[in-house]
Structure 1
Amino acid sequence: MSLADQIAPLLPHLRRYARALTGSQKRGDAYVRSLLEAIVADESVIGREADVRTGLYKAFHGIWSTADLDVAQPEEAGGVESIVSQRLSRMTPINRQALLLTAMEGFTNRETAQVLQVDESRVSSLIDAALKEIDSQIATTVLIIEDEPIISMDLEQIVRDLGHDVLATVVTRDEAANAIATKKPGLVLADIQLADGSSGIDAVKDIFARFSVPVIFVTAYPERLLTGERPEPTFLITKPFLQSTVKAAIGQALFFNSEKSEAA
C-alpha cells in the first residue's frame, strides 16, 4: 500500500485535531495542507515511525511548531515583536497538546511522547496539568442541542461537573432559537441531526446570526464534516464519546474563547 493510501483515511481526524489545536478551521486546515505539500515533495518527512499515524501527527507538529501560516502580515501586526507575540498567544501549551492527543485522538502515552518528542514519563504529568487548567476555567453557561435523551443527560452531567451551568437542553432548531432569545450562552454543544428533522448546523447558524460563541459539534459521522471542501466546525467530537474527550474539547474551546475576550 502506498503512503498516500495509508494517509488518506487519517486526514479527517488530523483536520479535527489541527482545528482544535489552533482554535480555527482556517488555520488548522492551512497547516494540514502545508504538511501534505511537504509530504508530496519528500515522503521522508513522515519519518521512520513504525505506525504511519504516529509519524503523520509527529510531522504535523513539526510543521505547526515552526511555520508561521497563521501570523498576521507585518503591516497589520505592528512589526516583528508583535508578530511573535501574537503567534505565542495562539500556541496551545504542550500540556493541552498531550491532552488532545490522548483524549480526542486516542493516542497512548507512548505514542503521544513520540508525537511531541518528549519522554514518555512526562506525558501523564502534562495531561494532569491540562486537566487542572480546565477545572480552573471561569464558569460559563452552556446550551445543549441534542435530541437523544441519554446523550443529553451525559453532556449535562459533564458540563456541571466542570462547574458550568446549563442554560437549556433543546431538541430542535426552533427550541434552540427560543433558548437564546433572552440570554447568550458562553458555549454551545450541538448535535447534527435533531428530533424533528431539523439541523443542528442550521441551529448554530441562527445563533451566529445574533452573536459569536464557541461551538462544539457532536456527531456519529465526523468524516462527513471533515472533508476540507466547505465551511466546517472548528471543534468536533464523535459519538459515542468518552467523558475525557468532551472535557478536552470544552476546555480547548473555552481556552481560545477566553483569549479572544481578553484581546477585545
Structure 2
Amino acid sequence: MSSIGKVFISHAVADVALARLVVDFLKEAVGVRDSDIFCTSLPGHSIPLTEDFNAYIRSQIEEPALVLALLTPSYLESHFCLMELGAAWSRALKTLAVVVPGVPFDVVTKTLGLKQAWRINDHAKLSEFRETFKDLELEARSTATWEAKAANWRKKLPGVLRGLPSSKLVEKTKLNSALAEVEALKQTADDEAKRVKKQISDLEEDNARLQERISVKDEGRPRVLIVEPEKLIALDLEQMLKRARYDVIGVARTKQEAMTMALVDKPDIIVTEVQLADGSSGIDLINAVYPLVDCFAIFVTAYPERLLTGNRPHPVELITKPFSPDDALAKIVGATQAVLQRRAKSSHGEARQS
C-alpha cells in the first residue's frame, strides 16, 4: 500500500488522548483528509485487519508526506517509537517534532539534528503549524472555522497534557541525589545503632559494677575513696585495693568531686594526693570531710612537705611517691584497723552511757 501523501503520526500508545486531539485538529482545523492520516491508536486511521503489524508500519513510513512525532515522556521511553524516529532520520523524511512540557527541547537536536520543532503549547505558532501541511491536498477551511477550531484546541490541550503519563525514568542527578540520601540515612542509622549499642554496653557495665558494690557491701568490706589526679596512679591504687578485698567506692580528681562522693557513700578510708587536678587541696578536703564523715585519711603524695604546715588534719598516714605497693597496703590496712577500733570504742562508750 502506498504511503505517499500520508501524515504519519508517530506516538506512544500511552499518549492516545494526545494523538486523538492532534488528529481531530488536523482534520477539523487544518483540513487534512481523513484518509491521509495514519495513526495506529485510532480506529479508521490504524492498521487494517489481516495485515502484519510490523510490515504495515514499515510500509507507512517508507515515504510519507510528513512524520508528526509527538515527543512525550512515554515516547522517549518506548523502543518502538525511537525506531520510528530513527527511520525518519535515516530516510531524511520531512519530520516535525512536537515537544510537550516535561521533555527537554534539546532532545530534538539529539534525535533529529538541527530540524525546527514545535513546543505544543506555543499557541503563537499555530499558524506556522498549519502551514506545514500546505503541500498536502487539503480540504478547504474558512478563516472563521480555523479560528474557532484553534480556540477549541487551546482550551482542550492543557487538560490532555495533564492526563499524560509522567516519565518512569529518573534523571541521573536525581538518582544520585536519592542514592546519596539513602547512604546518609544508612550512615545515620549505623551511627545511631553504634550509639545505642555503646549505651547498652555502658549500662551493662554500670549494672555489673552496681551488683558488685551490693555484693561487696553485703560482705562488709572496708570502703575506700581514691582522690588522685593522675589516672595511672589511681588505677594502680584501685587494683591494689580490690585485690586486698577493699570496696573502692569511686575515684575522684578534685576536692569537689571527692566531697560529693564522701558525703553520699561514707567511706572508711580516703586515699588522697595533696595537689589535686583543678589546683584544689587534698588537705583542705580532709579538713572539710573529717567533721562530717567518720573516716581515716591517708596521703599518697609527691608533696609530703606540705603536710608540715599548721593546718594538717589529724589523724593521717603519709605515703610518699614513688611508693612500694606492699608498704602502702600495710599502712592502709593499719589505718583501717585504727578507724574500726575507734568506732568500736565509741560504740562501747555510748552503750555504757545509755
Q: TM-score, normalised by structure 1?
A: 0.45
Q: Which one has the largest radius of gyration?
A: 2
Q: TM-score, normalised by structure 2?
A: 0.34
* Structure possessing the higher relative contact order (Cα contacts under 8 Å, 6 or more residues apart): 1
Q: Whose helix fraction is larger, Structure 1's or Structure 2's?
A: 1
